[in-house]
Amino acid sequence: MKKNLLFTTCLILLTSITPNAIAQEWNVGLDINSSYIWRGSKFGTGPAFQPTIEYNVSGFTVGAWGSVNTSTDEAAEVDLYLNYGFDFGLTVGLTDYYYPGTEFFDFSTETGSHAFELNIGYQIAALSLSANYFINEAGGVGNAGGDMYFEAKYSFKHIDVFAGAGDGLHTTNGEFCFVNLGIGTSKEIKLTDTFSLPLNGSLILNPATEQMYIVVGISL
């Protein structure tokens, strides 16, 4: 009797996982930006194509994000990430930064091609906070380990205001300072009655390098 009950339970669970139910957990997207600006620093030249593939289930998100520029200075990047979101606005995760052109399976400190970063985020109403910490040394990507980055963003009705500060690889001298100050906004361009194209833009100042950037992008 117990065996029959166990078999029936397993059968119900297996039949409930239909292809449509699995497909609903997968997401794919593409951002096209006029430049690739990350935490106040510019990577590559020319517009950047940035695809995303991720799977979400029970609060967990596993995904891959990439970037490649349209010029010969492409600054190619492929990041893998895992995070978990709690109901009260807290998210914790881990990101693996990898740059094509280096050996993928090299995890040594001298020439390693992977930089691992712990990520913590918290959002309450219009305010979002994040803290990030690189946990390893990877000579192949110029990461010494222990690098930190913190950011706060507040969303008003039409604009977002953000401020980010970090040390290590985020700065020119390694000292902790503000590197990413700016405002952003977004709108939707209606193309048909059923399809709109999201458009976003940001004006960014890096006080450490004394550089200012303006970036506009679309999301598909």
- Say whether pLDDT at 8 is over 60: no
Q: Which domains does the chain have, with CATH numbers?
A: 25-219 (2.40.160.40)
- Say whether pLDDT at 205 is over 70: yes
DSSP secondary structure, 177-197, as one string: EEEEEEEEEEEEEE-SSS-EE
Over the stretch 135-174, which tens digit does the pLDDT of each residue have? Answer: 998 888 878 789 999 999 999 999 999 999 999 989 988 8
pTM beyond cutoff 0.95: no
DSSP secondary structure, 143-165, as one string: B-S--EEEEEEEE-SS-EEEEEE
Q: Which of 42-46, 181-185, 209-213 has the lowest mean pLDDT?
A: 42-46
CB 187 within 8 A of CB 159: no
Over the stretch 155-164, which tens digit does the pLDDT of each residue have? Answer: 999 999 999 9
Tell me what the mean pLDDT of segment 104-123 comes to. 93
> What is the rounded distance in angstroms from the CA atom of residue 173 to the CA atom of residue 170?
9
Short-list 30, 71, 63, CA closest to 49: 30
> What is the rounded distance in angstroms from the CA atom of residue 170 to the CA atom of residue 148?
8
